[in-house]
Structure 1
Amino acid sequence: MTVIRVFVFSLLLAPCSSLFAQFDDFYHPELEWKTIETKHFFVHYHNGTERTANVIAKVAEEIYEPITSLYHHEPDQKVSFVIKDFDDYSNGAAYFYDNKIEIWATSLDYDLRGSHNWLRNVITHEFTHIIQIQTAMKFGRKVPAFYFQWLGYEEERRNDVLYGFPNVIVSYPVSGFIIPSWFAEGVAQYNRPELSYDYWDAHRDMILRMYALDSNMLSWNEMSVFGKTSLGNESSYNAGFNFVKYISEKYGHDVVEKISRSLSKFSTLTIDKAIENATGKNGEEVYNEWKQSLQHTYKERTESIRQNRVEGKIIADVGFGNFYPTFSPNGKQLAYISNKEADYFGLSSLYVWDVETKEEKQVTSGVRSNISWFPDGKKIAYAKTSSDNPHWSKQHDIYVFDITTEDETRLTNGHRANTPAVSPDGNTIAYVAGGDGTQNLFTLQSDGKNVKRRTNFTNGEQVYNPKWSSDGKKILFDYSIKDGRDVAELNIENDSVEFLFNSSFDERNAVFSPDGKKIIYSCDKTGIFNLYEYNRETKTTAQLTNVLGGAFMPSVNATGQLAYATYTSSGYKIAFLDSVKTVEQDAPTYVREEPIPQLLSLGTNGTPSKFDWEKLRSYDDTQLPERKSRSYKNIFTSMTFYPFFRFDNYNEKAKGISLIKPGIYFVSNDVLDKYGLFGGAALNTRMERDLFFIFEYRDKIPLFFQLGMDPILSLEAYNISRTTEFTATLRPDDPILLDLDVSFDLIEFDVALKQKLFAENLDFEIRYTHSRYTSAIESFPFKDPDDPDAISFIVPGSREGYYFGNILSLRWNYKAIAPSRISEINPKGRKIFLQYDYEFSKFNPEYVIEKGELVRVFEEPKFHRIELKWNEYTKLPGWKHTFATSIRAGTIFGPAQDNFFDFYLGGLVGMKGYPYYAIGGNKIAAMNASYRFPIWENMDIRIAHLYFDKLYGSLFFDAGNAWTGGTLKGQKFKRDVGAELRLDAFSWYAFPTRIFFNAAYGLDKFQRTTSNNKTVTYGKEWRFYFGVLFGFEFD
């Protein structure tokens, strides 16, 4: 039964671990929550987000009928909005099976999208997800998926072990929704185009235009899944928006609903068939039509620009996120931000490029904001995201880096300060900060003191990119409240604000020329963002660039050199112009299309529209109706169920239907994730069962909260049973052998507290486990076969507990894996796991006679145990190759303990060249070395509903041993070698599918003697392992 206690439960939970993982890594019991209830919604918000909550309550009701009527579907209960504003993070998330939407109050400021009213945009987007995906569900809202599972086991050769350790692990879903990422996100962005809360703006057009012109658009299969880089994932959004727009305009505005309804049919397994059912053409055929149309249209619309381009030379082309070029005060250096070879925007660093030598160096890492030099040219100010606060909130603060000493100084702490700008005299720093969805302009002294609020916006206004005038009297900044941006100027003496550029176009990234007479900025007046120069004396504007992609974030030095961020088909790069000349007034420009659709007076069926689109477009969210709120009371999501069918052949004598163990997982969470319920049950025809139930509590725990701690409380219960056959006699000298069934039963109860400790990637857990292992023999009839006159009688059954365990555990889990699109298949970084146990148990009873009575006497082992697992993943020179090393060490302190308590070193989770139980003892020491490499990096192959993305291989070597008694010195280590294939894939567009195959060979042959004095030989043989799961790693 040790195998059950160690591993089987983890297998039960592994296939559905994501079902119980809606919770953020960090939660916030310090917040007080309230609820606004409307006709169709609950709006749950915490202190400090009152304005956002009231706007959401208003907007959600306004868009409810326009969205639901489009799909002829309404939710079966009120949808809950959960408002979050404890992180400097902007996003929305729709839990369409739970009728729940999470909204972060901070407005989206993303370099791959234009600026729109955040709440209007995100509410409509996420609610469209809820409605459209529920329309496409196959099994209804309470059954998200079915699972097919297969557990295969080693052919164990020890009679003292019930069955071998798993060597085949498969858990494969059959999804209840089959929606590619481009369709889900494209529909949510297109939603109701009449509303225009999101529309095809110049940023989106820029991305798709450059892909089309360079003939490197995402393929039909690529755009269907995520798992790409920041640019790649956004490109799925972007392509989906335009493709849905194309389909809707060409095949009718009701085509999206038709496709969704078709996806809900059991016979529809891909989007290809759903599009064919709705349009008469296969999905890829429609995609090719759209692609050809785009390439032709963009080529035609940009023909004159391509013949008259005015643009700088690219000086930073590595990476897709090169931003904020900023000249030093003397103009001889250019600082900028870049993600270089990283897969995500957030993994950017600060670089400085020498204008004369053309050489660059990395200054510091972890910088994503704009940057600003101090006048001495030795220090640079920037903002970084940190979670160094009591509740691990991810918030911006301002830092200053000294280039000469390489020292970093933090100026603010918890002020949510971003986009710093240093004044010309170096004494003041302007920056942007805010909360509840509104941003304002602030200043502080360069020593971090004397914070002053300079603007007083309160209604969702957004402020970006402050820039000082050369005399230090004025600050330019971007401003937005609805669509696009304008440029405003703040007078530092009286805090008055004047709008300089306030048109229907998007004007942004304004900076003063060094002499203060001109303003250089970016604008999309032609449909393409170019740089313009505004002369403050003559009030005239001249165009400086004529680019094909886009030009942003200008910086000018005193000699007239210009640097800016330019967009290409491979992302943002830094461009440099040695001198600036204005573009001719009549220079050819882009043929701009109207980004916002005309209002429709008629509905899709030709009848007058029932909605007043003009009123919905001309909204005023500063005027909010009075709404009552109440203290939050727990609202649980509907219980969702995940049936599964498991092929489980641990019993060698089981055949046919007894090998099948059907079951079900169930899960429900409080909408604020304060509480969670997760359980499962499985039963086969032999009445062998697997049961578990987990309750998690993530709110204030008395005493702990007062001590500044916020642990997660977990209460867990497990029960499994197994039945096997064995041969016995009624009496020791009886020659009659009886074939009997014996059942083993495990009941376990756990209480755990989990807490982040010292660092956000270091988890600490304290756990108490109580276990009871029992065996039982049912009563059976018996008749002596040698006595014809014997009468059959019933031999009574018996039930006996043989292990009553108590374990107090302390666990430390440190995980520092670098985020990347290959971090699952080929991680880089470090993982450390350390566990200490104190066990005090009753075990292995024997019957003795005491005072004339037969009594059971248990062994009562008490001992301390410790185990360490350390994994290092190191990037090698070359293309995504890594060298991984790991060590595992453990010991039971004190006298030797029964092998029931042993560590084991072989099998799937250890030295794969030997069976799991082949190498066991009270002490272990082992090491692994692996070389992993890509075989096929960008497969882009789809077969039916399976998309194959990446194939990696590895070669590995293990050495280790386990023993009882003695020390490490003198131990003869066992060795093995092997290879692994890892295939990273997606199923049903959304489910990660990780497939692995291992082959390992034990280099050393050795023998073990079992409890019945049988000798078993291990080693010098090939062993194989196979799995299909959601991840490759077991630790």
Structure 2
Amino acid sequence: MNLLLSLLLATPAHAWTADEPWRTVETEHYRIHYPVDTEAWALDLAGRIDPMRERVSEVVGWAPDERTEIVILDPRSRANGFALPFSRSPRIGVFPTAAPASSGIGNYRLWAEDLLVHEDAHILHLSRPSRNPLERIVFDGLLGVPAIAIKSPAWVSEGYATLVEGILTGAGRPNSDARATFLRMLAVEGQLPSYAQLDGSSRWRGRSMRYLVGSAYLEWLADRYGDERLPELWARMTARERRTFDAAFEGTFGAPAPELYGRFAAELTAGALAVEPVPDGSERFLDRSGELDPPSVSPDGTRIALVEKSTDGKATIVIREIAVNEEAVTEREESIAELLEADPSDVAPIPADTAPHKTVVRLSSPLLRPETPRWVDDEHLLFSAWVSDSHGILQPDLFLWDIDKKRPQRLTRAANLREAEPCGDSAVAVRRQYGRSSLVRVVLETGEVTPLTAGSPTVVEANPRLDDTCTTVAWLRHDRDWRLMASPLDQLNGMIPASELEVPLPDGGQVLSVDVHPDGTALTATIGTSGYLDLWTRPTDGSADWTRRTHQVGGAFDPDVTASGEIYFLTTDPSGFDL
């Protein structure tokens, strides 16, 4: 019952309101209901969706006769979707706001394709009726949900949909350097989840294990025993002979699921440990746990701002001094000296692997969910925060915070702006709204918004960064894949062909984020190659090739380059992000 409950609870209570204009378009396999604001995105989806169903059906081995109802909604202005595998009239909800490259679901060929393949895999996998008469009466008839949806552990339902997403799109999480890095990091640290933890746990990203580790385990099973075995497992789970998931699994693969998971984990760990670590000269600045937003160093190089997120979703902007807190160091040394003086036979604790840094100020509010703070000058931060509009829909707007004051100033209203990069009296930001994405310029004093690139339902803009003189802008653009773009800011008017703005990546590279060096002479980006996510640097003028800067087991994310040439970035360990 866990899957059904989680799907029902994930259903938004609202999106666009009922009095807004809605339309419906029908295809052979679907009926799509959409607000008129999203018509371009909805019709593009409708033109692609039937061939997707046929491909998903070939992989899963079953398809319903009736149309599937799809509702387009966007209650949080974030990338997501859900599936409700009802016995009669299954439903899918899709959020047209595309994921940025740095997201865990940011590796896609087309956002609508990746999203629909994943959710449709749920429908075709979990809506299949049982061939057992009693199960059909109880589950399909009384509960309205097929028995296979109730029997399947969460790691099976989500892991399989994630696996299908990778098989059919050639992208998705299974083909991302992010999943490979995450699995390798856990394996090297001896912290792969136990079989019991695959469905979810309270550990960092515990609920992501069902997608990332679950899909990798199912992929391993298919590689070892044959692609046909997973459809055979679903057939055994819906057979006339009543079977639990465990019984169906053991009959399909010849051993219990926990036992084979142990072999999978052992092979994954052995492969990860066989890779020799490469020192790269990086030093850990801050040892944290949980989620962190990208770092931002103040122009004078003395402070660093981060958004730290608690397990309950609370987000706090924390500003720290970059200099070591010598007072805290002295206090610790004196405390240890007193300890040993009182008991000379005692043993001092080993030194911490990071030095202490004084916290300057924090900003936290139950009404704001701040993200991606960036320094305007040494005393002001610009950030996005998700706030409710008059219909209760969450949208990101821009806020300016004088760090000497408690309350930030709201600059825009219902503008749907994020990932803003300030420079002077304006900022370059990303607008993602109604399934369209574009770069815009925002005047900080008035909140006036001017488009810099044309919005499109199939092109996604992300992560703009500027040099200190506001001359060069670099950003990521998704057009069939993620591309690194760079342009003189004053020429970003659509007159220069996109091919001339694109910065070539290392062979096979997947770019996740970028920063422009303050003097504008180089770009440093997080680029994935062969299952590794690390920092690479290249001169802006293309006079030299990319140089790999890091070799981090936990990946290197979201670089911020200072005027002195230092690079602050995020990495991961089993407890979360570190700086």
Shorter-chain-normalised TM-score: which range?
Answer: 0.7 to 0.9
Shift of 1:194: 4.7
Does the 8 A contact of 2:81 with 2:93 survive in 1?
yes
Q: Distance in 1 between matches of 2:6 and 2:105?
A: 30
**Structure 2 matches for 1:681-760, cutoff 5 A?**
none
Shift of 1:32: 1.4
Report what 1:397 is aligned to: 397
Report what 2:537 is aligned to: 533
Q: Give the CA RMSD over aligned residues.
A: 2.6
Q: Distance in 1 between matches of 2:195 and 2:306?
A: 35
Does the 8 A contact of 2:472 with 2:487 survive in 1?
yes
Match of 1:257 among 208, 214, 231: 231
In the superposition, relative to structure 1, how do residues 386 and 51 fare at CA in structure 2: closer, same or farther (>3 Å)? same
Does the 8 A contact of 2:429 with 2:439 survive in 1?
yes
Q: Distance in 2 between matches of 1:42 and 1:229?
A: 39
Does the 8 A contact of 1:331 with 1:558 survive in 2?
yes
Report what 1:469 is aligned to: 467
1:103 maps to 2:77? no
1:491 maps to 2:488? yes
Report what 1:239 is aligned to: 213
Query: SS at the partner of 2:151?
Result: coil
In the superposition, relative to structure 1, how do residues 135 and 556 fare at CA in structure 2: closer, same or farther (>3 Å)? same
Report what 1:690 is aligned to: none
Unaligned runs of 5+ in 1: 1-15, 148-172, 575-1035
Counterpart amino acid of residue 13 in structure 2: D
In the superposition, relative to structure 1, how do residues 68 and 19 fare at CA in structure 2: closer, same or farther (>3 Å)? closer
TM-score, structure 2 as length reference: 0.84
Shift of 1:524: 1.2
In the superposition, relative to structure 1, how do residues 409 and 283 fare at CA in structure 2: closer, same or farther (>3 Å)? same
Counterpart amino acid of residue 91 in structure 2: K
Report what 1:211 is aligned to: 186
Shift of 1:195: 3.7
In the superposition, relative to structure 1, how do residues 227 and 284 fare at CA in structure 2: closer, same or farther (>3 Å)? closer
Report what 1:352 is aligned to: 319
In the superposition, relative to structure 1, how do residues 559 and 474 fare at CA in structure 2: closer, same or farther (>3 Å)? closer
1:143 maps to 2:118? no
Query: SS at the partner of 2:526?
Result: strand
Shift of 1:124: 0.6
Residues 89-122 of structure 1 show CA distances to partners (whole Å, capped at 9, x for unaligned) of 2211111114111101111236334421211111
Q: Distance in 2 between matches of 1:513 and 1:18?
A: 44
**Structure 2 matches for 1:774-785, cutoff 5 A?**
none
Q: Distance in 1 between matches of 2:535 and 2:5?
A: 50
Match of 2:516 among 508, 512, 517: 512
Query: SS at the partner of 1:540?
Result: coil
Q: Distance in 1 between matches of 2:6 and 2:226?
A: 38
**Structure 2 matches for 1:431-446, cutoff 5 A?**
431-446=429-444
Q: Distance in 2 between matches of 1:73 and 1:17?
A: 24
1:547 maps to 2:552? yes
Shift of 1:64: 1.6
Counterpart amino acid of residue 190 in structure 1: L
TM-score, structure 1 as length reference: 0.48
In the superposition, relative to structure 1, how do residues 410 and 402 fare at CA in structure 2: closer, same or farther (>3 Å)? same
Q: Distance in 2 between matches of 1:283 and 1:32?
A: 49
Query: SS at the partner of 1:559?
Result: coil
Does the 8 A contact of 1:113 with 1:203 survive in 2?
no
Q: Distance in 2 between matches of 1:401 and 1:468?
A: 20
Report what 2:54 is aligned to: 65
Q: Distance in 1 between matches of 2:7 and 2:318?
A: 41
Query: SS at the partner of 1:313?
Result: coil
Query: SS at the partner of 1:369?
Result: strand
Q: Distance in 1 between matches of 2:138 and 2:35?
A: 29
Q: Distance in 1 between matches of 2:578 and 2:47?
A: 41
Does the 8 A contact of 2:77 with 2:395 survive in 1?
yes
Q: Distance in 2 between matches of 1:530 and 1:543?
A: 7
Shift of 1:395: 0.4
Report what 1:182 is aligned to: 155
Shift of 1:141: 9.2
Counterpart amino acid of residue 404 in structure 1: D
Query: SS at the partner of 1:324?
Result: coil
Greater helix share, structure number: 2
Match of 2:569 among 545, 564, 568: 564
Report what 2:383 is aligned to: 382
Report what 2:342 is aligned to: none
In the superposition, relative to structure 1, how do residues 227 and 516 fare at CA in structure 2: closer, same or farther (>3 Å)? same
Q: Distance in 2 between matches of 1:85 and 1:24?
A: 9
Report what 1:908 is aligned to: none
Q: Distance in 1 between matches of 2:540 and 2:473?
A: 15
Report what 1:330 is aligned to: 300
In the superposition, relative to structure 1, how do residues 201 and 449 fare at CA in structure 2: closer, same or farther (>3 Å)? closer
Report what 1:133 is aligned to: 126
In the superposition, relative to structure 1, how do residues 277 and 55 fare at CA in structure 2: closer, same or farther (>3 Å)? farther
Report what 2:63 is aligned to: 74
Does the 8 A contact of 2:473 with 2:516 survive in 1?
no
Query: SS at the partner of 2:37?
Result: coil
Query: SS at the partner of 1:364?
Result: strand
Q: Distance in 1 between matches of 2:546 and 2:505?
A: 14
Shift of 1:274: 1.9
In the superposition, relative to structure 1, how do residues 406 and 490 fare at CA in structure 2: closer, same or farther (>3 Å)? farther
Shift of 1:37: 0.9
Report what 1:44 is aligned to: 33
In the superposition, relative to structure 1, how do residues 438 and 115 fare at CA in structure 2: closer, same or farther (>3 Å)? farther
Q: Distance in 1 between matches of 2:94 and 2:201?
A: 22
1:320 maps to 2:313? no
Shift of 1:43: 1.0
Does the 8 A contact of 1:327 with 1:555 survive in 2?
yes
Query: SS at the partner of 1:337?
Result: strand
In the superposition, relative to structure 1, how do residues 263 and 361 fare at CA in structure 2: closer, same or farther (>3 Å)? farther
Q: Distance in 2 between matches of 1:18 and 1:463?
A: 31
Shift of 1:265: 4.5
In the superposition, relative to structure 1, how do residues 569 and 18 fare at CA in structure 2: closer, same or farther (>3 Å)? closer
Q: Distance in 1 between matches of 2:50 and 2:483?
A: 30
Does the 8 A contact of 2:534 with 2:555 survive in 1?
yes
Does the 8 A contact of 1:517 with 1:535 survive in 2?
yes
Q: Distance in 2 between matches of 1:230 and 1:25?
A: 28
Q: Distance in 1 between matches of 2:321 and 2:563?
A: 16
Unaligned runs of 5+ in 2: 326-356
Query: SS at the partner of 2:311?
Result: coil
Shift of 1:176: 6.2
Does the 8 A contact of 1:95 with 1:130 survive in 2?
yes
Residues 636-686 of structure 1 show CA distances to partners (whole Å, capped at 9, x for unaligned) of xxxxxxxxxxxxxxxxxxxxxxxxxxxxxxxxxxxxxxxxxxxxxxxxxxx
Q: Distance in 1 between matches of 2:141 and 2:254?
A: 29
Match of 1:448 among 446, 449, 469: 446
Shift of 1:540: 3.1
Counterpart amino acid of residue 35 in structure 2: H
Identity %: 19
In the superposition, relative to structure 1, how do residues 77 and 526 fare at CA in structure 2: closer, same or farther (>3 Å)? closer
Q: Distance in 2 between matches of 1:19 and 1:494?
A: 46
Shift of 1:266: 7.5
Q: Distance in 2 between matches of 1:566 and 1:177?
A: 37
Residues 129-164 of structure 1 show CA distances to partners (whole Å, capped at 9, x for unaligned) of 0011123757349835979xxxxxxxxxxxxxxxxx
Query: SS at the partner of 1:177?
Result: helix
Residues 228-283 of structure 1 show CA distances to partners (whole Å, capped at 9, x for unaligned) of 46611112210011011111111111111111122224866643322111111111
Does the 8 A contact of 1:185 with 1:237 survive in 2?
yes
1:459 maps to 2:457? yes
Does the 8 A contact of 1:474 with 1:492 survive in 2?
yes
In the superposition, relative to structure 1, how do residues 296 and 195 fare at CA in structure 2: closer, same or farther (>3 Å)? same
Greater strand share, structure number: 1
Shift of 1:383: 0.2
Counterpart amino acid of residue 351 in structure 1: V
Q: Distance in 2 between matches of 1:195 and 1:23?
A: 26
Q: Distance in 2 between matches of 1:82 and 1:322?
A: 32
Q: Distance in 2 between matches of 1:93 and 1:548?
A: 32
Question: More relative contact order in 1 or in 2 (CA 8 Å, sep 6+)?
Answer: 2
Report what 1:651 is aligned to: none
**Structure 2 matches for 1:581-600, cutoff 5 A?**
none
Bigger mean CA offset, 201-210 vs 514-523: 514-523
